[in-house]
Amino acid sequence: MAGTQDPVALNDWYAVATVTDLDRAEDTRLLGHSITVGPGHKVVHDGRDLPVREKFGVLWTTLGTPNKEIFDIAESQEKGRRFVPCGWVKMRASGLRVVENFLDMAHFPFVHADILGTEPHTEVLSYKSEIRHDVDEVWATNCKFFQPQMTTTRPDGEFAQLTYRVPSPFVVMLYRVVPDSGGVEDAIALFIHPIDEDEVRAIPVMYLTDQEASHTQLLRFEQVIFLQDRIIVENQRPRLLPLEARAEIPTRADSSSVAYRRWLKQKGLTFGTTTPEAA
């Protein structure tokens, strides 16, 4: 598969490796282009060193010329937060499909039964989705959903208060209010490395206030969720994300997805979508 020439995709930053795993060279692809990651903080494409950044425990690079630096996660700078990287998972799907699945609350009771949702509580309550043009991000706020297991150490069901953020096309975040905290939020991010249009690997990372659960408990909890999602995402057709109006019919619960697709279309992104690249 030839590498993309889509300037919107090329001129962005992508997480391509964990900074603790850069002791040897690894050949891979980014947006269909062959790259070599490592050894050290180095990424090479066609004999050329690419720009790199170290942030959130991962190494970022770009094939183009981004017009801004990598976004910030305020929680990553807060003292007392537990940083939990959850390992890379590969999927045969467009990275944009992966982001959209992360935004979807409606699947919680069916795909993540008795963890993130339960079938007696299937309604997605009204929430607000918007494109924040001042920061060029998509946000979904005032999201509430009944979750039977809020955390590994809090098994009683209750309504979770959630906020979703998409700071770039291949990154998605969830902020969840910690119960009995006065509004303090855990921050969970998913960084996607688009290998090709229909193949990605992704790493969930978490900045948590939980000081009780073991690292293994936190890791297992997140990996179970992610592997359940992989089954659903890999079976979606088409694998690429349609941006054409009425290509897929949304419901009220899909408000964040509608905003996300509108945002991608406004950007002119074609990589990972069913929209053909310009010749």
- What is the tens place of the pLDDT at every residue in 215-248? 888 888 777 777 777 778 888 889 999 998 666 6
CATH 2.20.25.680 domain position(s) in the chain: 1-70
- Give the whole-number percent of the chain exceeding pLDDT 70: 85
- What is the tens place of the pLDDT at every residue in 117-174? 456 655 557 889 999 999 999 999 998 867 676 555 556 677 788 999 999 999 999 9
- Helix locations, 197-254, DSSP H: 215-234
- The CATH number of domain 81-267 is 3.90.380.10: yes
Q: What is the pTM of this model?
A: 0.90
Q: Where are the beta strands (DSSP E) in 113-230?
A: 128-132, 137-147, 158-168, 171-177, 185-196, 199-208
Location of structure tokens 């978490």: 206
114 CA to centre of own chain: 23
**How far apart (Å, rounded) are the C-alpha atoms in residues 140 and 173?**
10
Residue 179 has pLDDT above 90, yes or no: no
Q: For domain 1-70, give its CATH number from 1.10.3720.10, 3.30.70.360, 2.20.25.680, 2.60.200.30.
A: 2.20.25.680
Task: Provide the angle, in degrees to the nearest 10, between the axes of the packed helices 95-103 and 215-234.
Answer: 110
pLDDT at 235: 85
Break the chain down into helix, strand, coil percent, rounded to 5: 20, 35, 45
Residue 78 has pLDDT above 90, yes or no: yes
CATH 3.90.380.10 domain position(s) in the chain: 81-267
